[in-house]
Structure 1
């Protein structure tokens, strides 16, 4: 293997073996990589379909993007709060 690939494998190994990511019983990586993007997509779909009959299509996309983007901060804060709360147990 090349040095570039071995460095990437070392990075993955350090991330998996890092105790900081083991706070939630191994679900930290799952939440970061899968659950949070799925939650964002579901929020966007819900907002888009809710506003579909009330707003024109172009404004609906703008409003959906703004609200979905604004929800990213609270979602990440909730994930961090759960990790901190579970690490105190």
Structure 2
């Protein structure tokens, strides 16, 4: 049970528990900061106009860099299922 809960996934991505905790923690903190910036931007559009989208792009680039098989693919935002059908 311990192995399944704490070690199996980090091992599957080639990391130790502490390495995985550091990477996941950094990703999570980046998402929280981007989310807070997005909420502030929702109330005050002139504040943080690009912060959330810049963080999402940075996280996506880091994830692609960590997964060599992903580097061969075109970016997800270019895939048809990610294309917006309309703009407001």
Same fold (TM over 0.5): no
Q: TM-score range by the shorter chain?
A: 0.3 to 0.5
Q: What is the TM-score normalised by the length of structure 2?
A: 0.39
Structure number with the bigger relative contact order (C-alpha 8 A, sep ≥ 6) is: 1
Structure with greater Cα Rg: 1
